[in-house]
Structure 1
């Protein structure tokens, strides 16, 4: 929905006609002055007159200002969903014309510039480098040593470049999990999915690095939580749960030692466990008080926590995690974001091993948001479960006479095929499956 206010330079003789788009007829002596726009459509020169939250909840200097540079626009994109703007009629009309396209941004697959097989070697290298960084920061915090969080920027930048080339490559890497390195890998996986999700939502490339930093550092405070509580196999008692909740404040304080960090990174660290129904922690914020990036990371964080193996339990299937997210939309999570996240991840996320109706075995390469049951796949075994030369098939656009469908998912390692082994094969060029 958008709003308008007309200003007449001369009294019209008859009511101004309206076009089908709802704008005033150009022949009438009126003009559109104010409209409500998604923050992703803001351009310099627009005057911001109202936010979707109190001005005091966003780090801007003035209550009402003209958008002068991209830094201001980026800040609004991090905290808000929409703003009320006023400006030149033509500029606002051009922005309004993009609203319909903006609403369809999560109905198409993430763009790719390189095939998965070509991107996997770089993704593997970047994953290893970023994991090493997280482990170094973890060790520094545990030993009470100084650490430079600005060193995270170049490694996150490489993650962003890989995701822009082919998001499925980094998603494949994120699905190769170790229950013994949960905390470090969890931060890395949340960073990867946060960047991919931010891109899927239509955020510009310049926002992806900060989004990735938010994901990478969101759980830093857990390093201050006693291990016997962090890894307790059973339910936490009230006292233990209260200590666990403090990890958001611990992280907020840790990040406060670096004045060069973008404020939104600390905000996400502190607020990624707030709920849109006001029952989250640590501050029981209302929905309108929770920043856009914090709501985004909260979904990714919960998804990865549910689907990951821990030292004391196995993760739940992706399909079950999706059901939990969907059931809690509008209560724990932002409803629109949950639905968009489900469209991005799909019924069978990239890296899932599946058996086809033909009996062939394949890995999911990429999903199609508008055709959840028809992803792009890589067939690795024939109907007799014999290895074959990898073949890419787009189930949404099959070849003439081809009627392949996914029969059911398979556990990783079924028939001797594992995602880790396939990644190794793509990185080294050596066959690693049983002959």
Structure 2
């Protein structure tokens, strides 16, 4: 079992001082219990006895402390998966009662407060604004100018707001890719997917901006790698590959120049290519040394890298990338996170063009974690491949006369349907029919 409960020995019924959060009643006779809990379920007043990694791997002041502020809780969420805690039996019982629902948090779709059509215009604007910021940072590094990375936070904040309203809008934007602008767009896409993934995993809203910053800045060091290596059309030599691997250290050194950045951002930049089996780089860390946020970003980073066109190769289909992630779970990637990520993006990620068993053509609007083959779609063409007025259909809840299913995915641009054009139609409100 993941969670084990045991009573401290010898059992005691000594009164416990009231914590700052008022979790304990000093006038009551209580028993001190110990349980292992996910860090997301920790509350004020719990004494942190042990972590899932050595204390030296987590930037906390003391080895063993009573949780009493948001800063401590945030650090534990960034670096750890679970903690052994000690506290009043009633308080711990309440936390244990929430474990089941916590483990089921990735069984439900990301919540939406706006429709895709409503959110696309803002997502388009925020995407462009964030892309301009990345280009500004790129130019500053190339010219050797000082970086003001704090400017990234308000940009990421707008991304978070869009993802919270409707993540599929930003997912659509992320599928419009330029082969010649891979590094900048890759950082932006990883930021978006990291925000969405952190939210899907149930992290609180105060963590989403920091998670997005980790994604946006994780590959900053690649801008220090010589272009002839970064964009080499063929295989890298061992010496070239060694230089390429240094991008994690280059990025870490760049981020160290800004003392105001959250330390986890530098940790992710340095360690997003570490592996659970100890065969990653740059430090060949053991499984227990890799932070939670680094594990999260490593999955998103790999997925986007595999599915993106580069100057020297074409990207692979999302379904193939998902198979690679699944095959390498537990060795390269965190197994639980991989399975959660697959539930979030689905077999056919939002923005994928598909042909239905009816012959109709549609775009994937949103996926359902428990019904991967039955996403919500927008039908754009009839069975004769003629444009129709777009209509939304939820394949998981079809009407009596609609037993639709996906036959297979199509390449973007098939039958004259371009995701980029569809986005622009939603932004401008003008429909452009394929010829």
TM-score range, shorter chain: over 0.9
CA distance in 2, matches of 1:287, 1:223: 28
Q: Which residue of 1 aligns with 2:344?
A: 344
Q: Which residue of 1 aligns with 2:355?
A: 355
Deviating 4+ runs (over 6 angstroms): none
CA distance in 2, matches of 1:147, 1:218: 15
CA distance in 1, matches of 2:395, 2:96: 35
1:178-193 alignment, distance < 5 Å: 178-193=178-193
Look up the SS of the partner of 1:407 in the other structure: strand
Look up the SS of the partner of 2:96 in the other structure: helix
Change in CA separation of 1:126 and 1:70 when aligned onto 2, cut-off 3 Å: same
Look up the SS of the partner of 1:373 in the other structure: strand
Q: Which residue of 1 aligns with 2:146?
A: 146
CA deviations on 1:351-401 (whole Å, 9 max, x unpaired) are 000011111110000001111000000011111111111111110111123
Structure 2 length-normalised TM: 0.94
Q: Which residue of 1 aligns with 2:121?
A: 121
Q: CA RMSD in A?
A: 1.2
CA deviations on 1:79-136 (whole Å, 9 max, x unpaired) are 0000011112221111111000000011111111110100000000000000000000
Q: Which residue of 1 aligns with 2:18?
A: none
CA distance in 2, matches of 1:95, 1:59: 25
1:26-425 alignment, distance < 5 Å: 31=31, 33-425=33-425
Q: Is the 8 A contact 1:274 1:284 kept in 2?
A: yes
Q: Is the 8 A contact 1:272 1:297 kept in 2?
A: yes
CA deviations on 1:409-430 (whole Å, 9 max, x unpaired) are 1110111101101000000001
Deviation at 1:8, TM superposition (A): 4.3
Q: Which residue of 2 aligns with 1:15?
A: none
CA distance in 2, matches of 1:87, 1:3: 12
Change in CA separation of 1:9 and 1:329 when aligned onto 2, cut-off 3 Å: closer
Deviation at 1:9, TM superposition (A): 5.4
Q: Is the 8 A contact 1:220 1:251 kept in 2?
A: yes
Aligned residues: 417
Q: Which residue of 2 aligns with 1:18?
A: none
CA deviations on 1:241-299 (whole Å, 9 max, x unpaired) are 11011100000000000000000000000000000000000000000000000011011
Q: Return 5+ residue gaps in structure 1 as ranges.
A: 11-28
Deviation at 1:71, TM superposition (A): 1.1
CA deviations on 1:197-232 (whole Å, 9 max, x unpaired) are 111111111100000000000000000000000011
Q: Which residue of 2 aligns with 1:13?
A: none
Look up the SS of the partner of 2:392 in the other structure: strand
Deviation at 1:408, TM superposition (A): 0.8
Q: Is the 8 A contact 1:421 1:433 kept in 2?
A: no
CA distance in 2, matches of 1:323, 1:132: 33
CA distance in 2, matches of 1:88, 1:360: 60
Deviation at 1:2, TM superposition (A): 2.3
Deviation at 1:32, TM superposition (A): 5.6
CA deviations on 1:24-45 (whole Å, 9 max, x unpaired) are xxxxx98461111000111111
Q: Is the 8 A contact 2:11 2:32 kept in 1?
A: no
CA deviations on 1:16-61 (whole Å, 9 max, x unpaired) are xxxxxxxxxxxxx984611110001111111111000000000000
CA distance in 2, matches of 1:43, 1:116: 36
Which stretch shifts more, 335-344 or 285-294? 335-344
Q: Which residue of 1 aligns with 2:4?
A: 2
Deviation at 1:341, TM superposition (A): 0.7
Q: Is the 8 A contact 2:170 2:192 kept in 1?
A: yes
Q: Which residue of 1 aligns with 2:434?
A: 434
Look up the SS of the partner of 1:362 in the other structure: strand
Look up the SS of the partner of 2:355 in the other structure: strand
